[in-house]
């Protein structure tokens, strides 16, 4: 069996899903990218499987299948996807968003329309908080940029999008899933992905320590934050409640015409 090409998200929250996959060169050829790049590579057919923003499954629902039972999800505060601002969300007129985020931007548009009741202008900028806030009333940051941002030191509020979604819907939010085209993976690939997820969940502290140590944090604060994040803010199963959250997101995103009308979720068998 030849190895399939895989694009995984480079952020900390995705590391438990790929734990040990680098040792399975018989099944996977692995690379790391920002979420939007994972989606683009899969769309271009440059990779066989991608850990893609969940919204991309709706944009390409006729083409993609989802790997069952695996996701990057949260139930409440996610910590790594947030708006930074010194204003209440109901008064925002412009928001800077990171071009590397697709699901987070779609979720923000849903929250603005359905929860905050605002119609701000969205401006795409590189993820540099001072630059973003110089141009706009608020800035959307994702991944490690959001997780490690010391917002209180610079007088900003952090509005957690996962927390706002839970307040609005009572459901978990699914940020990313493994997806590919029909017949892209075999049962052996699916079993290996599940085994990697299970091994990663059993090694969260090890993963956090190794990832955060690369930040060269002498007082250990980054390691402690990474451990807390993996244990408290994210989880890696796509169960019935998670599927309900995903369907709700797709429906609301379709309602405000961020994406086409929502069809059924389609999974690899």
Tens digits of residue pLDDT in 208-232: 999 888 765 555 788 899 999 999 9
Tens digits of residue pLDDT in 167-178: 999 999 999 999
Asked if pLDDT for residue 261 goes beyond 70, the answer is yes
- The pTM for the full model equals 0.92
Per-residue confidence (pLDDT) for residue 2, from 0 to 100? 77
On whether residue 11 sits in a domain, the answer given is: yes
On whether residue 247 sits in a domain, the answer given is: no
* Overall number of domains in the chain: 2
Query: Structural domain of residue 113, as residue ranges?
Result: 81-169
What backbone phi and psi angles, to 5 degrees, belong to 213? -60, -30
Residue closest to 61 by CA, chosen among 266, 269, 268: 266
Strands 64-66 and 49-53: unpaired
Shared-domain flag, residues 141 and 202:
no
More confident residue, 218 or 36: 36
Shared-domain flag, residues 233 and 104:
no
More confident residue, 216 or 242: 242
Q: With bands split at pLDDT 50, 70 and 90, how would you rate the model's confidence at 101?
A: confident
On whether residue 264 sits in a domain, the answer given is: no
C-alpha distances in Å from residue 140, one per residue of 90, 160, 229: 15, 10, 19
Domain with residue 201: its CATH number is: 3.40.190.10
């Amino acid at each position: 069996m030849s190895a399939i090409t895989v694009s995984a998200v480079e952020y900390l929250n995705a590391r438990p899903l790929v734990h040990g996959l680098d040792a399975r060169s018989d099944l996977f050829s692995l690379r790391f990218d920002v979420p939007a790049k994972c989606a683009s590579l899969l769309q271009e057919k440059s990779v066989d499987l991608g850990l893609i923003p969940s919204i991309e499954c709706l944009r390409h629902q006729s083409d993609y299948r989802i790997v069952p039972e695996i996701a990057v999800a949260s139930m409440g505060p996610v910590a790594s996807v947030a708006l930074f601002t010194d204003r209440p969300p109901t008064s925002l007129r412009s928001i800077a968003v990171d071009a590397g985020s697709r699901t987070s931007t779609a979720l923000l548009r849903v929250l603005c329309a359905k929860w905050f009741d605002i119609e701000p202008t969205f401006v795409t900028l590189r993820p540099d908080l001072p630059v973003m806030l110089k141009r706009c009333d608020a800035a959307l940051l994702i991944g490690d940029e959001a997780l490690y941002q010391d917002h209180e030191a610079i007088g900003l509020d952090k509005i957690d999008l996962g927390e706002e979604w839970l307040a609005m819907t009572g459901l978990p939010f699914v940020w990313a899933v493994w997806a590919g085209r029909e017949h892209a993976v075999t049962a052996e690939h699916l079993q290996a992905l599940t085994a990697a997820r299970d091994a990663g969940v059993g090694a969260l502290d090890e993963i956090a320590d190794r990832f955060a140590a690369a930040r060269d944090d002498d007082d250990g604060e980054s390691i402690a934050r990474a451990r807390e994040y993996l244990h408290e803010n994210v989880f890696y199963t796509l169960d019935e409640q998670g599927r309900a959250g995903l369907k709700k997101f797709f429906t609301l995103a379709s309602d405000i015409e961020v994406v086409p009308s929502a069809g059924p979720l389609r999974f690899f068998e």
